[in-house]
Amino acid sequence: MLMARVGELTLQWIPGHSNIEGNERADNLAKLGSGLDQEETTLTYQEAKTMIKVAAGERWKKSHEDFNKKVYIYKLDRKEQTPLFRLRTGHNKLAKHMFKTFRIGESEMCKCGHSAETTLLISTRNACCIKKSEKNLGTHCRA
């Protein structure tokens, strides 16, 4: 039980985000809720966490009706899914992402300067760019 873990718990309403429509509504609902009788619960922290996790999972499934566990990508473990995710999103170690996101390297261009080093450039095996290793997803270029 939460109270057993923290001892005393005080909830205090602090006004903020004045004159913002959504926040004003949330503040009003919070004020209304604070005046309601609070039910005593005997749920443990772990039980509450499990209930929230299950409810969130059900909500996600309803909002992603096309999700199908039989599709091959969902059968892969996290280690196998990660490179695919990085290739699809462009969040990888190729020059374009590393330069734009972290300012690592001199530019987003491949070493020969032909074009930005992207997943598409590597996957189409542009004549001037080749994949050096799986680890860095083709950051090597030969002119």
pLDDT tens for each residue of the chain, 143 residues long: 565 666 777 777 766 666 667 788 888 898 998 888 888 878 889 999 999 999 999 998 888 887 777 778 778 888 988 888 888 888 888 888 888 888 888 898 887 777 888 887 766 655 555 544 333 444 444 44
109: three-class secondary structure by DSSP: strand
Whether the model pTM is above 0.75: no
Final residue of a structural domain among 46, 63, 80: 63
pLDDT value, residue 13? 72
Number of domains composing the chain: 2
The domain in which residue 76 lies consists of: 72-123
7 and 50 part of one domain: yes
Region at 7 (left for phi over 0; alpha for psi -120 to 50; beta for the rest): left
Q: Could you tell me if residue 143 is inside a domain?
A: no
Beta bridge partners of 116: 109
